[in-house]
Chains A and B, each alone.
Chain A
Amino acid sequence: AQTVTQSQPEMSVQEAETVTLSCTYDTSESNYYLFWYKQPPSRQMILVIRQEAYKQQNATENRFSVNFQKAAKSFSLKISDSQLGDTAMYFCAFMNNNDMRFGAGTRLTVKP
């Protein structure tokens, strides 16, 4: 079974700085998708970024980018120019054949 590990339960960053959240996963599949979701205090799950495993190029969405290392089964999220509104829980997720597995989450606090 696929598992997703987020080794950083909590992190903090100063406003305008850059922070990287870690995620590793375990799978024997070769075709899969990876996601980062954000859950702010409202608890709404919001898609941040998505990466197809067959693509070598790392996905980017404005200030959010990933470092996808397929051989190492690593999928980290980099947030540049952190803003107060980035304060949230961040969940890494793995999907294969519509079976989605989530990590336990990293609580990120952006400090003014």
Chain B
Amino acid sequence: DGGITQSPKYLFRKEGQNVTLSCEQNLNHDAMYWYRQDPGQGLRLIYYSQIVNDFQKGDIAEGYSVSREKKESFPLTVTSAQKNPTAFYLCASSTSLAGGQETQYFGPGTRLLVL
């Protein structure tokens, strides 16, 4: 059954530690996205990827890194440079970017907490 999976559901980070959030999709979508959600705010774009081996920074990319080695996978690493990482992270995907107006479908999210 097709969809987007994110793991883990909850993740704890210690000071100075890098952590990686997983996002996998079996929808055969070309584009994938990472968003951050803070309380009382809408989603903000961290990174997006239109094709394998290519990705672009969003509005709040500082302190984060991504890779896109496979079409199905778009992991997000929260580095120690991200000073306020506590948030809910959502991964999304969409079909080909031709026309630039494709609906994005979301995974269930990962809650990141700092110890």
Chain B residues whose C-beta falls within 8 Å of the C-beta of A95 in the assembled complex:
101, 104
Chain B residues, CB < 8 A from A50 = 103
Residues of A within 8 A of B44 (CB): 102
Q: How large is the interface on A (under 10, 10 to 19, 20 to 34, 35 or more residues)?
A: 20 to 34
On whether the beta carbons of B43 and A35 are closer than 8 Å, the reply is no
Shortest CB-to-CB span from A50 to chain B, Å, is: 6
Dominant secondary structure of chain A at its interface with chain B:
strand
Query: Which chain B residues numbered 62 to 115 have a C-beta less than 8 Å away from chain A?
Result: 88, 90, 92, 94, 97, 100-106, 108-109
Dominant secondary structure at the B interface: strand
* Residue count of chain B within 8 Å CB distance of chain A: 24
A98 close to B108 (CB less than 8 A): no
- Inter-chain CB contacts under 8 Å: number: 57
Q: Mark A71-101, 1 if CB is under 8 A from B, else 0.
A: 0000000000000000000010101111111
Determine whether the beta carbon of A44 is less than 8 Å from that of B108.
Answer: yes
A-side residues, CB < 8 A to B, are 4, 9, 31-33, 35, 37, 42-47, 50, 52, 91, 93, 95-105
The 3 closest A-B pairs by CB, nearest first: A102-B42, A45-B106, A97-B100
Q: B residues bordering A, Cβ < 8 Å? A: 31, 33, 40-45, 48, 50, 88, 90, 92, 94, 97, 100-106, 108-109
